[in-house]
Structure 1
């Protein structure tokens, strides 16, 4: 799975990950830098809450997509047509500004004798979403993880999301949506399969 995680070097958590106290101290520094007083009543417990929240928001670094995708099912009664899981909600964080990315992922694959449990597809989105990300990288990583583990005839991914780094800062354009796609295998070489995927996702 090196191709999947190469943009996310794994920490040696025992030696490299800061302690809880160090994380909380860093939050206090940021609160002071923002212009507030971390000792005032409303902020006294904020560093602890933020550190706890970060553990949850970035839990994807502790998850391995192989563990999620490793179990497949071969009893499919000969089914070999497209499997589509659409409108998978996710949130992530922009690796440039560490502000939220909120969107939906649409995933399809063409089985090659094996299928995934449908919840596993959503879990892969969660794993890569709960890391610092760019939408382009996340789209490619999900496709690669499914492609390398399931070995289907093809994978199609579409992600549409709003980036708070555009909505809350900079150009401050609320409601702007970014769309990314990745195709592998049969989807990549056959435009008709791409059209079929897009039609199924859009519901027309």
Structure 2
């Protein structure tokens, strides 16, 4: 796309008349190299480059960034064949952006710890609900978490286990990464003798599309310390989960 006129933004076909040259995606880089060679003094803007992390692109002709973000959702509605001007969709761009902003910004919390006071038995929290978004398809996956740790010198308030899971879930994720991040974070902050995290979840990217298998659960686990190296400790934790489910 070749654009002329920062204030008025008129598309032109002759690059010589353009103020900026816009490429929606750089894959091989051939287009960028061609135009940079022919018109080295013209500004070349790229929306997306596969091998490079780019910031949000602010075009010179944009006035209100929030409105421009909403325009992106409008364009998405048009791409899937919807009319963004029909009554039910008039407020959808604003609501969509607001919902994502809310979900992807979980409340912060302090991982306050306390002296263990001779507490060295397993502490387990079951059925912790969590919600996340698949980073591949931007569709939800959700389920329950089962978290345990064996204190060494520190314990933590029970709400912090749920907060930890919430914090790592409320972002674009995959289930395996959440499991690992929660376990590693708890181990780092509690310096526990062992940490165990099991997540059980349903993925709408698998139920709504693709293989379309409904009511299928995916289970992931991360075991550290005694839970990994001691068979009896591991069995006790897994039995607690199994007996609870039954």
User: Take 1:134 and 1:39, find their aligned partners in 2: how far apart are those partners?
Assistant: 35
Q: Does 1:31 align with 2:73?
A: no
Q: Does 1:52 align with 2:98?
A: yes
Q: Which has the larger share of strand?
A: 2
Higher relative contact order (CA 8 A, sep 6+): 1
Aligned equivalent of 1:196: 236
Count of aligned positions: 186
* RMSD between superposed Cα atoms in Å: 2.0
TM superposition score normalised by structure 1: 0.85
Residue 139 (structure 2) aligned to one of 90, 95, 99: 99
User: Take 2:188 and 2:86, find their aligned partners in 1: how far apart are those partners?
Assistant: 51
Give 3-state SS (helix, strand or coil) of 1:197's partner: helix
Q: Does 1:72 align with 2:72?
A: no
Residue 209 (structure 2) aligned to one of 169, 176, 181: 169
How far has the Cα of 1:23 moved from its partner? 2.5
User: Take 2:73 and 2:95, find their aligned partners in 1: how far apart are those partners?
Assistant: 10
User: Take 1:179 and 1:41, find their aligned partners in 2: how far apart are those partners?
Assistant: 41
> Residue 68 of structure 1 contacts residue 123 of structure 1 at CA under 8 Å; is this kept in 2?
no
How far has the Cα of 1:102 moved from its partner? 1.1
Q: Hey, which bits of structure 1, 4+ residues long, moved more than 3 A?
A: 15-19
User: Take 1:121 and 1:199, find their aligned partners in 2: how far apart are those partners?
Assistant: 20
Answer with 1 or 2: which has the greater Rg. Answer: 2
Q: Does 1:42 align with 2:101?
A: no
Q: Does 1:134 align with 2:134?
A: no
> Residue 139 of structure 1 contacts residue 181 of structure 1 at CA under 8 Å; is this kept in 2?
yes
Q: Does 1:22 align with 2:68?
A: yes
User: Take 2:138 and 2:243, find their aligned partners in 1: how far apart are those partners?
Assistant: 33
TM superposition score normalised by structure 2: 0.71
How far has the Cα of 1:20 moved from its partner? 2.8
How far has the Cα of 1:68 moved from its partner? 3.1
